[in-house]
Chains A and B, each alone.
Chain A
């Protein structure tokens, strides 16, 4: 992960920009140059929105290089109305996470890139309307 990559992807990563197919209506994330369902190139950008539900999650104890200081790392697949996104969960203890948990987007810092910059990305936290 380099600073250049984060800078290049910032709009997509910070606004969770996916695609919607103009021909078949399929929506997905991350963005592609053509529709995964029907191969049409008539795709437009669409925001995933800022809320969703956890469909699966994991707690990483053995990190990849660069994330050694962020353990335990809670990673989730979050289903929004317009597609699924792989993300980090924040402000939650690993044992509090469950499938179906409602979450909302928040901007947080990520691990320092291998070339020494501090990137900000979208993570998800427990939805504020659901403090159960």
Chain B
């Protein structure tokens, strides 16, 4: 049973561009996002900073809360880093929500940051594979793309989904992301581009796959008692839920569905007193085309096995209910791994506030879903204007 002490609002947000920024450091990116969020929240001073990140060890830096707080002139406040693989952002938001809701803090900054462009692709691929089972999967040389490819082939075979039907997802993502000023890959693509792109891990092609991005996003969360001091357009976190599944995919109960997507969605919807049909705009975690398609189904926006077919039929475009990934999703906006869950909440909050800088859609209820591992640590958040 959820005993809610205080409602929690998003009162400020800020994002860096997403891309590969050889000249910029982790702290520089985080600082840009945090200062933008603080400015957006009328100079709110957070008493807590939570930093979400997965792979900072690749740039030889841990202890990120101290680093970023001090870099941004906040020495002396409270904080720590939260890690849940690619789902770190959502996990940090659960921690931030809890701090504000419980009364331990009135104003909390959640800063997601990732810096990947300093390392080679095999090094980053190995780091990402650490979200899988290091004892029982890594010895075989499986990559994160490879694990998702196993799911994609299983799904396509079981539901008789053709290659061109899967391609509808990345085509829609790039169409949306083309208009998003902070997106990593601002280009339109065709089905031909998808099937001619190199195979990363068959059947996953380069254009089924998100880019490895640098980027930082920040949110300022505040309690209902003070939210209006910082924002005229606070966005309510109406529901928030997390669920875990096995790190290995061998022992999954199902290979064509993410248990943690279903459970975390159910938890978030129950807390908000809402259902999938109430959602106007959503950001789903499409690290690969298959993840977008499967989570459309597991969140409750499409029947099982029909996700890709509905995208082909023109569902989920901007203005549809729900509009999915108006940012371009991980595919086009990009995937600054530990920051992605924070980007998603920034983007949906802006849609609800009416100031999203890309394709605008109207709506009152938003949803974000952030995935760590191959569906092994998932956070779903319901936002309300």
Interface residues, chain A, with chain B CB atoms under 8 Å away: 1, 5-6, 9, 12-13, 28-30, 32, 36, 55-68, 70, 73, 75-77, 83-88, 94, 99, 110-111, 119, 121
Which residues of B (101-154) have their CB < 8 Å from a CB of A? Answer: 120-123, 125-126, 129, 133-143, 145-146, 149-151, 153-154
**Which of B7-15, B199-207, B222-230, B304-312 sits within the interface?**
B199-207
- The answer to whether residues A86 and B154 also contact, given A30-B135, A59-B202 and a CB cut-off of 8 A, is no
Whether B123 contacts A5 by the Cβ 8 Å rule is no
Besides A55-B154, A110-B139, 11 more A-B contacts (Cβ < 8 Å) are: A1-B134, A9-B139, A29-B136, A29-B250, A58-B204, A59-B199, A60-B142, A60-B145, A75-B142, A86-B249, A110-B141
Give the chain B neighbours of A99 by CB distance below 8 A. 153-154, 157
Q: CA–CA, A6 to B136, complex, Å? A: 10
Whether A121 contacts B149 by the Cβ 8 Å rule is no
- B56 interfacial contact with A, CB 8 Å: no
Whether B136 contacts A62 by the Cβ 8 Å rule is no
Q: How near does chain B come to A50, taking the closest CB pair, in angstroms?
A: 16
Q: How near does chain B come to A112, taking the closest CB pair, in angstroms?
A: 11
Give the chain B neighbours of A62 by CB distance below 8 A. 121-122, 125, 143, 145, 200-201
Out of B123, B141, B255, which one reaches A75, CB within 8 Å? B141
- B98 interfacial contact with A, CB 8 Å: no
- B198 interfacial contact with A, CB 8 Å: yes
- B251 interfacial contact with A, CB 8 Å: yes
Q: How near does chain A come to B80, taking the closest CB pair, in angstroms?
A: 28
Q: How near does chain A come to B189, taking the closest CB pair, in angstroms?
A: 19
Listed residue (B141, B142, B204) with the most chain A CB atoms within 10 angstroms of its CB: B141
Whether B129 contacts A64 by the Cβ 8 Å rule is yes
Sample 27 A-B pairs with CB under 8 A, ordered by A number: A29-B251, A30-B133, A36-B253, A55-B255, A56-B153, A56-B157, A56-B255, A57-B150, A58-B150, A59-B201, A59-B202, A60-B141, A60-B146, A62-B201, A64-B141, A65-B122, A65-B126, A66-B122, A66-B141, A73-B141, A75-B140, A75-B141, A77-B255, A86-B250, A88-B140, A99-B154, A111-B141
Q: How near does chain A come to B320, taking the closest CB pair, in angstroms?
A: 32
Whether B201 contacts A86 by the Cβ 8 Å rule is no
Contact count band on B: 35 or more
Whether B199 contacts A86 by the Cβ 8 Å rule is no
Give the chain B neighbours of A86 by CB distance below 8 A. 136-137, 140, 142, 150, 248-250
Out of B136, B153, B198, B203, which one reaches A30, CB within 8 Å? B136
- The answer to whether residues A119 and B139 also contact, given A57-B153, A77-B255 and a CB cut-off of 8 A, is yes
- The answer to whether residues A77 and B150 also contact, given A30-B248, A59-B202 and a CB cut-off of 8 A, is yes
